[in-house]
């Protein structure tokens, strides 16, 4: 049984249809990458899985449970956490407070969890009382990911984690994604930087015009010149 399955999902915003039938799955402990041109619906799939958008058709299951259309507050309790692409931190809250908000639904002391996040992102440890809004792009991305990790999710969803970051930071972020994955967390990420993300991923999906185009192991997709030409800008 896959950890996450998305079956035949059709959806959109208001009357504008974006997804025209998307299927994908994520297995335990995998890194799956979704790539494709702009406007393909990659971010929309994420939002739909996380309950920010209702499917018009099709369904989403997580750990065997149908979560189609479930609101985010409940999805989060099931071990699925999401980092949006923009506006992904609370700017007037400190780093530490951002992390605390990530684990809001828990009633227990959060010290251990925070320490784990600080171990993963030492830069944050130094800046724990700084306001998140005053941090650089890379640091904010770390705060955003740290916030999502506070609940020890089984699956972490990342929407364009490397967007707008300098190359050195892109390396760092992908390194961290790999590190997170090594602790057993599955990762589903949408990425513009197809090359780097497919290098990292176990499997990849290419999405275009709201539906699946190609699917396969990351390395295979990377190496396929057709895929590269058609969808990844050469």
- Can you give the binding site for another protein, defined by CB under 8 A? 50, 52, 71-73, 76-77, 82, 84, 87-93, 97, 100-102, 104-105, 147, 151
- Closest to another protein by CB, 90 vs 231, is 90
For residues 26 and 11, what is the distance between their CA atoms, to the nearest angstrom?
Answer: 20
Q: Output the smallest distance, CB 216 to another protein, in A.
A: 30
- Closest to another protein by CB, 89 vs 172, is 89
List strands edge to edge, sheet with 57-62. 16-26, 4-13, 57-62, 65-66
- Closest to another protein by CB, 78 vs 123, is 78
- Closest to another protein by CB, 158 vs 221, is 158
- Closest to another protein by CB, 73 vs 171, is 73
Q: Output the smallest distance, CB 98 to another protein, in A.
A: 8
Q: Output the smallest distance, CB 131 to another protein, in A.
A: 10
Q: Output the smallest distance, CB 224 to another protein, in A.
A: 34
Q: Are 26 and 4 in contact (CB under 8 A)?
A: yes
For residues 187 and 177, what is the distance between their CA atoms, to the nearest angstrom?
Answer: 8
Q: Output the smallest distance, CB 122 to another protein, in A.
A: 23
For residues 94 and 128, what is the distance between their CA atoms, to the nearest angstrom?
Answer: 7
């Amino acid at each position: 049984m896959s950890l996450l399955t998305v079956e035949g999902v059709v959806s959109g915003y208001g009357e504008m249809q974006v997804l025209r039938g998307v299927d994908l799955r994520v297995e335990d402990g995998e890194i799956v990458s979704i790539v494709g041109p702009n406007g393909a619906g990659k971010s929309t799939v994420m939002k739909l899985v996380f309950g920010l958008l209702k499917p018009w058709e099709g369904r989403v299951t997580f750990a065997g449970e149908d979560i189609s259309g479930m609101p985010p507050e409940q999805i989060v309790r099931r071990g699925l956490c999401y980092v949006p692409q923009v506006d992904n931190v609370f700017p007037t809250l400190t780093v530490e407070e951002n992390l605390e908000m990530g684990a809001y639904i828990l009633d227990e002391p959060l010290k251990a969890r925070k320490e784990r996040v600080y171990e993963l992102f030492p830069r944050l440890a130094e800046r724990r009382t700084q306001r998140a809004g005053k941090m650089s792009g890379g640091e904010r991305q770390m705060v955003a990911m740290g916030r999502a990790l506070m609940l020890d999710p089984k699956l972490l969803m990342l929407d364009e984690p490397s967007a707008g970051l300098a190359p050195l930071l892109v390396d760092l972020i992908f390194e961290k994604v790999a590190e997170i994955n090594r602790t057993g967390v599955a990762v589903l990420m949408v990425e513009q930087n197809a090359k780097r993300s497919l290098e990292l991923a176990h499997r990849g999906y290419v999405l275009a015009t709201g539906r699946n185009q190609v699917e396969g192991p990351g390395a295979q997709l990377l190496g396929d010149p057709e895929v590269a030409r058609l969808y990844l800008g050469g």
